């Protein structure tokens, strides 16, 4: 039924497009983007693109219509790794600081920030930490302190145009721990300020549960399984976890999900 209705919509728009007022064509294209089911777009995308290009809809219409527009220009995917042991050591310190800049229109990765961080309270990594994260002592020895890394994050944000008030961006994490517990806790311990852009975020677990109707108890592994995605890299590698988060977000966006802030204002 959806295929038939989709074909009808394509045919109707094709036959009527020549008579369409030019100033209304963009709205018509938006209507097509929002109304055509993904399965129809997948099967008929090339046909739509060919038929409508001559009427001012643009050759990239089919690609653009694969998912609705998001509320943010950019998503900043973040996943910390920190010092750890069993029983847990205190305070924990961030040792890997990765961010992926995800374009909110294409859901593709445009830029990467990735640094390792020298822990100062517990400078020697435990065997448990290395086994869990894959981070060895040589990867953190001699690296910048958290304060220095935060300064470089700010420089990267400025260079990427993310500090422009007209650019809407938001961080995305797998859970609330990274930006609700880990970063503010360590900054408080070290007497460092927390930048405002770290104070609102999207918890991917909550977004996934809204989209799929089930809570991912095992985090990224459950989300990849639920979406039939292959896991990228090794679990608990910060940069690999970011790539998995980005892949899950892209898949949900293609299914029509609109991402919204899940954190409460500070």
Active site residues: 81, 236
Tell me phi and psi for residue 71, to 5 degrees: -80, -10
> How distant, in Å, are the alpha carbons of 9, 32, 69, 249 from that of 257?
22, 17, 10, 9
> How distant, in Å, are the alpha carbons of 121, 133, 224 from that of 247?
35, 20, 9
How far apart CA 127 and CA 265 sit, in angstroms, is 37
How many CA atoms lie within 13 Å of 96's alpha carbon, on the beta-carbon side?
26
How far apart CA 131 and CA 128 sit, in angstroms, is 5
- Enter the DSSP assignment of 170: E
Closest CA to 81 of 251, 236, 262: 236
Residues, the chain: 266
Sign of the C-alpha dihedral, residues 70, 254, 208, 257?
Answer: positive
- Enter the DSSP assignment of 116: E
Closest CA to 173 of 232, 233, 110, 220: 220
Per the omega criterion (within 30 degrees of 0), is the bond before 186 cis? no
């Amino acid at each position: 039924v959806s295929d038939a209705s989709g074909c009808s919509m394509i045919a109707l728009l094709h036959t009527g497009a020549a008579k369409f007022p030019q100033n209304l064509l963009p709205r018509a294209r938006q209507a097509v983007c929002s109304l055509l089911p993904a399965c129809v777009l997948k099967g008929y995308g090339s046909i739509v693109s060919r038929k409508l290009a001559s009427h001012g809809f643009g050759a990239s219409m089919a690609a653009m219509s694969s998912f609705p527009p998001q509320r943010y220009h950019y998503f900043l995917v973040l996943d910390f790794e920190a010092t750890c042991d069993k029983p847990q050591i205190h305070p924990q310190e961030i040792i890997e600081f990765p961010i992926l800049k995800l374009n909110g229109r294409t859901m593709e990765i445009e830029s990467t920030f990735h640094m390792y961080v020298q822990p100062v309270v517990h400078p020697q990594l435990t065997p448990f930490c290395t086994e869990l994260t894959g981070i060895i002592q040589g990867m953190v020895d001699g690296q910048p302190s958290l304060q220095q890394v935060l300064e470089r994050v700010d420089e990267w944000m400025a260079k990427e145009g993310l500090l422009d008030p007209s650019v809407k961006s938001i961080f995305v994490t797998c859970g609330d721990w990274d930006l609700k517990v880990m970063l503010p806790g360590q900054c408080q311990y070290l007497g460092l300020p927390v930048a405002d852009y770290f104070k609102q975020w999207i918890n991917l677990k909550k977004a996934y549960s809204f989209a799929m109707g089930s809570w991912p108890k095992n985090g990224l592994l459950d989300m990849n399984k639920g979406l039939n995605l292959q896991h990228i890299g090794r679990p608990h590698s910060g940069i690999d976890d970011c790539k998995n988060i980005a892949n899950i977000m892209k898949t949900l966006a293609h299914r029509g999900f609109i991402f919204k802030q899940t954190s409460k204002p500070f």
